[in-house]
Amino acid sequence: MIGKEVEKFLKQWGIERVMILTVDNASSNDTVIAYLKKRFKHGLVLDGEFLHVRCCAHILNLIVCDGLKDVNDSLVRIRDAVKFVRSSPTRLATFKKCIKEENINSKSMLCLDVPTRWSSTFFMLEAAVKFEKAFERLEDYDTIYMNEEEKPTTRDWEIVRIFTKFLSVFYEVTVRLSGSLYVTSNTVFHETSIVQNCIKKYSSATGPNDVLLQEMTTKIQEKFDKYWGKKDRINLFLYVAFILDPRYKMKFFLYCLNQLFDVDVAKAVGSKVVGVLRALFNEYNLSLSVANKDLDEDDSQSVDSEVDIYLLEPRVKREDNFDILDWWKGNSSRYKIFSKIARDLLAVPVSIVASESVFNTIRRVIDPFRTSLSPTTIESLVCAQNWLRSEQISIGLRQYLEEIEDEEEGSCLKFVYCVLWRTF
């Protein structure tokens, strides 16, 4: 059904050629891709061999969650401590007093995590470690503050600091890959290399508190290999997108491969990517030749060497404000075919986070301001909204609100009246 809906809208929008489809990691999407390959058999780039791109943010989430399945005791104790402080306004007020006495300057505050979302666990730990001394002082003010076995120890805080530092790498990579206002397809290889190096670093650590990290990184490495560590599981178009970044090109790409894989594997992957790059160039060149029949012989000869010219030219100097799309636009006259490949490939989003958020109305319905209202006020606002949208109400809004104020003087509806009066 999903495949049929995608097909329907592609035809409705007049899209006849499809390069890549970015979807989440649900197994049903494998069936979607297979269906679309069959239906768009003659409208897929390179016969749809690289049509399927799995959302990188979802893969990172799976990788980390797999490593955190066996939550260690230190994390549990700190979670319980946070839960204790946030269990009542009185305890939270006492904790804030402890923060003040310890002269802890932090704009953040304790937050409780959702165990099924590793990012929220990261936020909880990141906030909690800043208040270690405040937790210790809390014992002096609250006589029922957890027993000795439940309280976080000094070693617990040390372990959590290491956990936080490790998870911060995954969080920052997830944020960068989930962006929607800049190009992301050319950054996947670079970001996955950062993740792989992080895993290697912590898996070989030999500190007294690193045993737990070693166990966690072993599980994370297994999940990483399932999606990104094996050459047959990688969408090679994302490698091509990396090469199309003039700051890196082929030389740097091969260097990174040798850092990640064995020599033989790196060589095989590099050769395969070059083959895909040339096949992609030939297909675009053929399409352009058919569309532009008056292409003269000199032009035909010049475009044949675009691949070699691009790869042999010196790399562009790396700068923070470098705009890759602007660079390709400025060099489109030199690279007539390559610029079109870059235009299409660099437009590919490698995450569906931004797309999913379009259909997620929770924050628009219950925004931060509304979540701070009391249950009685929220109930009154919901009822008022329901009444105002009812077809049975035929009187004017102003008259209706005036009648509510007269009949329900002093009730919570008067507050609703004041809010709505100012709104309209």
Return the amino acid letter for 252: F
Q: By the 8 A CB rule, do 137 and 162 touch?
A: no
Q: How many CA atoms lie within 13 A of 153 on its CB side?
A: 8
* Tens-level pLDDT at each residue, the chain (424 residues): 999 999 999 999 998 888 999 998 888 899 999 999 998 888 899 999 999 999 998 899 888 888 777 667 888 889 999 998 888 888 888 899 999 999 888 877 888 887 777 888 889 999 999 999 999 888 888 777 777 778 888 888 988 888 888 889 999 999 999 988 899 999 999 998 899 888 888 887 766 666 777 878 888 888 888 888 765 577 899 999 999 999 999 989 998 888 878 888 888 888 999 999 999 999 998 887 766 665 555 554 444 578 889 999 999 988 888 999 999 999 999 999 999 999 999 999 999 988 887 776 555 555 566 666 777 887 888 888 778 776 554 445 455 445 544 444 444 444 444 444 444 4
Residues 6 or more apart whose Cβ sits within 8 Å of residue 386: none
Residue-level pLDDT at 8: 93
- pTM of this structure: 0.76
Residue-level pLDDT at 153: 87
Distance CA 22, CA 6 (A): 12
Count of all residues that appear for the chain in the document? 424
Distance CA 349, CA 167 (A): 24
Q: By the 8 A CB rule, do 118 and 64 touch?
A: yes
Question: Which residue ranges make up each domain of the chain?
Answer: 65-225, 368-423
Residue-level pLDDT at 404: 45
Q: Name the 3-class secondary structure at 48.
A: helix
Helix segments in 22-101, DSSP class H: 28-39, 56-67, 73-85, 89-101
Q: Which two tokens stand for residue 336?
A: 């007539």
Q: By the 8 A CB rule, do 281 and 310 touch?
A: no
Residue-level pLDDT at 231: 59
Q: Residue 145's closest CA among 77, 78, 85? A: 85
